A and B are shown apart, each in its own frame.
Chain A
Amino acid sequence: QKEVEQNSGPLSVPEGAIASLNCTYSDRGSQSFFWYRQYSGKSPELIMFIYSNGDKEDGRFTAQLNKASQYVSLLIRDSQPSDSATYLCAVGTASKLTFGTGTRLQVTL
């Protein structure tokens, strides 16, 4: 069974620090990788997607993909209290997307 693993947290970081969220996956043939943010009681919203090895930056967010090691990470620079949420890693194509259980991030003042 294809699996996506995330540390459930909570991951606590002070405001202004860098938050690093990690995700590992079991299907070596996976091609597409996504990060979603989910606030409590709300639906997931797409933050970033990445397809190629290396880094992809979008504002304060950087996604990092290492297919050889089968991990994908999300860095959040200058963390803000509004970043406090659960971050879901998803791997695969749209019709065969496997989600991790999410990492809860808490940004403290």
Chain B
Amino acid sequence: DGGITQSPKYLFRKEGQNVTLSCEQNLNHDAMYWYRQDPGQGLRLIYYSQIVNDFQKGDIAEGYSVSREKKESFPLTVTSAQKNPTAFYLCASSDGQAWGDTIYFGEGSWLTVV
């Protein structure tokens, strides 16, 4: 089945550790995104990539890093510089059309700092 797969679903991070969230899509979409969702807040864009080997910062990129070495993969690293990383992380993709582009989400990953 086509879709977006995120792993792990639940992740616990100790203070000072870097962690990486995986995102893989088999929809043949050009564009991929990472969002963060906190309780009572809307989704906020962390990073996005419209093509392989290229990505742009979103609204809250500080403390995060990404790579886009393959079209189907867009991993997110939450670094120790991110002071409040506990949140629900959502990976998404779209076909990248200039008009009528629609974002579809993976199932999400819960990150908790312990």
Contacts and interface: CB of A to CB of B under 8 A. Distances in A.
A94 interface: yes
Chain A, interface size category, equals: 20 to 34
Contacts of A46: 102-104
Interface stretch (A10-18, A53-61, A69-77, A97-105): A97-105
B54 to A, nearest CB: 12
Interface of B: 31, 33, 40-45, 48, 50, 56, 90, 94, 96, 98-108
Given A34-B102, A43-B106, A94 B94 contact: yes
Interface of A: 4, 8, 31-32, 34, 42-46, 49, 51, 88, 90, 93-95, 97-102
Nearest to A93: B101
18 contacts: A4-B42, A32-B100, A32-B101, A34-B103, A43-B90, A43-B108, A44-B43, A45-B105, A46-B102, A49-B102, A88-B42, A94-B94, A94-B102, A97-B45, A97-B103, A99-B42, A100-B42, A101-B40
Contacts, number: 54
Nearest to A102: B42
B105 A43 contact: yes
Contacts of B90: 43-44
Contacts of A93: 98, 101
B40 to A, nearest CB: 6
Nearest to A8: B40
Given A34-B103, A88-B43, A93-B101, 11 more contacts: A4-B42, A32-B101, A44-B105, A46-B104, A49-B100, A51-B100, A93-B98, A94-B33, A94-B96, A95-B48, A101-B42
A102 B43 CA distance: 10
Nearest to B31: A94
B21 to A, nearest CB: 13
A21 B42 CA distance: 16
A42 B96 CA distance: 24
Contacts of A45: 105
